[in-house]
Amino acid sequence: MPTHPSTTVVSIADSDRQTALNFAQQQPTREKATQVYRNTLAVLAAKHCLDWLEIATELTASDCWNPFSRLVTDVADLHVTGLGRLECRPISQKEPSCYVSSDSLDDRIGYLVIQLDQPYQEATILGFSPSANREPAHQPATRFHRRLSFSSSVSSERLPLQQLQPLEALLIHLEWLQQALHWQPQTHLSPWLHNLAEIGDSAWQTIEALLAQLDKPTFAFRNQGIAPDAPDLQRLVEQLYTSQRFSYPRSDIPSDPNTKAALVQLIQSTSDEETRWKAAEILWTIDPGHPATGVRRVLDLGLLLAGQRLVLMVAVLQSDSAASSEPRRLSILARVYPLAEQGYLPAGLQLAVLGQDGHLGLETEARERDNYIQLKLRGEFGEQFSIRLCLEDDVIVESFLI
């Protein structure tokens, strides 16, 4: 890969041109086809460059790799694994500035300007412009210092080339984002099982403690959607056992589900995670302090996400495995509640679980009139993971050690 003082040249392969041509032929007009062709080549050139630099990317997670997004928007984004979208804007030779479409002014970690030669044999990476204009030292020294803003510093649709930074600035920017996402104290979950709180972990509290602080505890905690009436409770328990019919003959169902024995038996013995959590949630309703319900802690996120006051709940259940030879495992539930009077989450709120290396593991998004969203996972003692909340330009990350 030949380099020049401020540029990097990447060869465009025949397969790249063929991919761009395939995408272009799907477009309704010649103008749109040209736009998609050039955008695709710019993204592929950026990917080749980042591959050479050993920076992981995911083409299929990029909007420009989605047929519908290509049709209705002008985007040339490349998803950098664990960090976000890098916009790769194509430019022709001798242009003094780079056009940045309004579709790509938000939710970008930066902009890479790529000059394409007319035969489309080579792509020259002219430079980089970051979208986050804050440095780590400028963030407030609070528990939520890891809150990141991805609001763009590119505020117009023309980016002058003289404002570009060299490719090395992109590497520094990605490294900073990586550190900003992961530089944070970890919450240890194991002590929760023994009702122990670690130093620096005081922000996590019981649900009862949080409710006591609220003047009007009318948010989603007030209703888990389970009525504790005896007939309904018995029916729910029987349904749970029936769904496990291959593991539990009907004769094994305790005769009096209201004694809680049936729920405890399910929690402690079933291998079906969905059933375990349903049983635990019923037990939360009728006996919140029962040992079989595991541990629940909540974190008041305040107004950090677009002015919406939210609560993150993390619940932990002991492993269902009785085999001493197997590693000890925990079942974990992450759920987000609103504290607003109407009891609904803001639409578009994203909840994700990231692995220790920052890779996306699970993800869900709030719809209109959702009163909570949640994800379930399992992990062995000693494993690490993070929970990420995103709303518009705001991101909060909480890290955990099992």
Same domain, 193 and 288: no
Tokens 């489309």 label which residue? 120
* 76 and 43 Cβ atoms separated by less than 8 Å: yes
Give the residue with greater pLDDT, 48 vs 245.
Answer: 48
Same domain, 17 and 59: yes
Give the residue with greater pLDDT, 104 vs 375.
Answer: 375
Number of domains observed in the structure of the chain = 3
Q: What is the pLDDT of residue 114?
A: 95
Residue 373 lies in a domain: yes
* 361 and 335 Cβ atoms separated by less than 8 Å: no
What would the mean pLDDT of 350-377 be, rounded to a whole number?
85
Residue 162 lies in a domain: yes
The last residue of one of the domains, among 262, 292, 322, is 292
Residue 208 lies in a domain: yes
* 262 and 315 Cβ atoms separated by less than 8 Å: no
Q: Which long-range contacts (CB under 8 A, 24 or more apart) does 133-138 make?
A: 135/176, 136/176, 136/179, 136/180, 136/183
Give the residue with greater pLDDT, 238 vs 97.
Answer: 97
Same domain, 209 and 232: no
Highest mean pLDDT among 10-24, 106-120, 238-252, 343-357: 10-24
Q: What is the pLDDT of residue 343?
A: 76
| Strand stretches in 7-96, DSSP E | 8-11, 57-58, 77-80, 84-91
The last residue of one of the domains, among 292, 326, 352, is 292
Residue 179 lies in a domain: no
Same domain, 357 and 328: yes
Identify the helix (H) or strand (E) that includes residue 149.
strand 148-149
pLDDT tens readout for residues 39-50: 999 999 999 999
pLDDT band of residue 29 (cuts 50, 70, 90) is very high
- Write the Ramachandran bin of 134: left for phi over 0, alpha for psi from -120 to 50, otherwise beta: beta
Give the residue with greater pLDDT, 322 vs 37.
Answer: 37
Residue 338: strand, helix, or coil: strand
Residue 3 lies in a domain: no
pLDDT tens readout for residues 310-353: 899 999 987 654 444 445 788 899 999 888 666 788 888 999 99
The last residue of one of the domains, among 266, 292, 318, is 292
CB crowding 19-39: b at 16 or more within 10 Å, else e: bbeebbeebeeeeebebbbbb
The answer, yes or no, to whether residue 391 has pLDDT greater than 90, is no
- Domain holding 358: CATH number? 2.60.40
* 115 and 123 Cβ atoms separated by less than 8 Å: yes
DSSP assignment string, 244-270: TTTTS-GGGS-S-GGGSHHHHHHHHH-
Q: What is the pLDDT of residue 143?
A: 43
* 97 and 89 Cβ atoms separated by less than 8 Å: no
The reported pTM is 0.55
What would the mean pLDDT of 217-221 be, rounded to a whole number?
50
Two tokens at 35? 């736009």
Angstrom distance (rounded) from CA 121 to CA 161: 22
Two tokens at 79? 């998803």
Same domain, 306 and 341: yes
Give the residue with greater pLDDT, 24 vs 236.
Answer: 24
- The length of the chain, given as a count of residues: 402
Same domain, 164 and 65: yes
Same domain, 346 and 212: yes
Residue 399 lies in a domain: yes
Angstrom distance (rounded) from CA 36 to CA 69: 11
Angstrom distance (rounded) from CA 119 to CA 117: 6
Two tokens at 121? 């044999």
What would the mean pLDDT of 6-29 be, rounded to a whole number?
92
Same domain, 320 and 402: yes
Same domain, 123 and 243: no
State the Cα angle at 339 between 334 and 340, rounded to 5°: 135
Angstrom distance (rounded) from CA 166 to CA 123: 15
Residue 2 lies in a domain: no
Name residue 221's amino acid: F
Residue 365 lies in a domain: yes
Same domain, 28 and 86: yes
pLDDT band of residue 117 (cuts 50, 70, 90) is very high
The answer, yes or no, to whether residue 224 has pLDDT greater than 70, is no
* 20 and 36 Cβ atoms separated by less than 8 Å: yes
Name residue 322's amino acid: A
Q: What residues contact 323, with CB distance under 8 A and at least 6 apart?
A: none
* 383 and 399 Cβ atoms separated by less than 8 Å: no
Residue 396's Cβ-count burial label (10 Å; 0-12, 13-18, 19+) is buried
The answer, yes or no, to whether residue 359 has pLDDT greater than 80, is no
Same domain, 81 and 188: no
Same domain, 84 and 38: yes
Per the structure, the complete domain to which residue 100 belongs is given by 8-174
pLDDT tens readout for residues 126-144: 999 887 443 333 333 344 4
